[in-house]
Structure 1
C-alpha cells in the first residue's frame, strides 16, 4: 500500500470567488481561454458539466509535458461552494493510485478566498508528493483571477 496524504492551500483572490466556483464547477471548458498556456481544453465525456456523476477530460501542460486527466465529478455543492473531482484516468495515475482534487471558495464580508485540497495515495512510498500539481492549480486560479480583473477594467 502506498503512502496516503493530503495537501491543502488556501489563499485570497481579488475577484469574486463565486466566479471561480462557477468556472471550475459549471464552465471548466472556459478555463483554456483564461489560462491558455497551462490548460488546452476540457471536454465532457459523460453527463453534463457541473453535474455529479459526469466525467470530464482535461488537456493541460504540467512540468513542461502535455498531459490529460479524466475526472469524475463526485460532488457539486452549491451551498458550500465546493467541487470535488476524482481522477479516474490519465498521467497523474502514473504516480498516484488515487488522486482527488477539491476546490472550495470561501467568501465573507472582508475577503474572498480559494481553498484547493489534493488527496492522494502514492503508488510507491518514495514517489513524489503532488506539490507541483498543486502549484499548477494555484497558477491556473491566478490566471482566471487576472482574466476577470482585466475584463472588469
Structure 2
C-alpha cells in the first residue's frame, strides 16, 4: 500500500446514550438505523446474510449530500471535487442527487467486538469505490460515567493522488451520531440494550 495514497481520519463525539446502546444500534440492529437517523440514512437494505452476522452485505442509502446543512452545492460536501476526475458518467450520477435520490454505499459487515464495543464496515460498492481502492468505517463506543464517547475512524486507500482526503465525512459522522443519540434517548423504552445474563445451572437435589 502506498503511503501517499493511504490515509486514516478519526473523530470523537460525546453522546448521552450508553455505550452499549450505541454499539448495539450500529452492530446488531442495522434494520433500525433508518428510524434512528432518518435524515442521513433513510434506508438500509440487507443484500446478503443476516442482519447481526459478520459477513452480511448491506446497502446504506446516504441522503446527507442533498440536505440543506450538507449540500454539496454550498461547498460543505465538495463531492464534485472529490469525484470530478472520474468522468462524465460519475458526474451524471451525482447530478441525479439533485432530484432527491440517495447515494448508495454497499458495505460488508467485516468485524465486531462485543467487549470493546467496536464494529467495522468495509465498503465494497457504490460511488466511493470510484475514488478509493479500499474504504472502511470503524465505530467504537467507550463507556463514561454519564453517556459515552463514540469514535469514528475512516481507513482508506485512494486510487489517485489527486483524490482529496474525505475530511467532510467526519462532519457526516458527527451529525449522524448526534441524531442517533437523540433518538436513542427519546425512545429508551424501545432501544434499551442489556447484556444477556448467563443462566445459572440448578443443582440436582436427590
Report the TM-score when normalising by structure 1: 0.91
User: Within the alignment, does 1:99 sit opposite 2:135 as a pair?
Assistant: yes
Aligned equivalents of 2:147, 2:181: Cα separation in 1: 14
Q: Please show how residues 2-151 of structure 1 align to structure 2 within 5 Å.
A: 3-64=5-66, 65=97, 66-109=102-145, 112-151=148-187
Determine if contact 2:41/2:62 at 8 Å carries over to the other structure: yes
Aligned equivalents of 1:110, 1:37: Cα separation in 2: 26
Compute the displacement of 1:53 (Å).
1.2
Aligned equivalents of 2:42, 2:146: Cα separation in 1: 34
Aligned equivalents of 2:55, 2:36: Cα separation in 1: 26
Structure with higher Rg: it is 2
Total equivalences in the alignment: 153
- Over the residues paired in the alignment, what is the CA RMSD in angstroms? 1.8
Aligned equivalents of 2:25, 2:16: Cα separation in 1: 15
Structure 1 gaps of 5+ residues are: none
Aligned equivalents of 1:18, 1:92: Cα separation in 2: 30
Aligned equivalents of 1:139, 1:91: Cα separation in 2: 21
Aligned equivalents of 1:29, 1:136: Cα separation in 2: 20
Compute the displacement of 1:110 (Å).
5.3
Aligned equivalents of 1:150, 1:47: Cα separation in 2: 30
Aligned equivalents of 2:20, 2:164: Cα separation in 1: 32
**Which has a greater percent of strand?**
1
**Which has a greater percent of helix?**
2
Compute the displacement of 1:48 (Å).
1.1
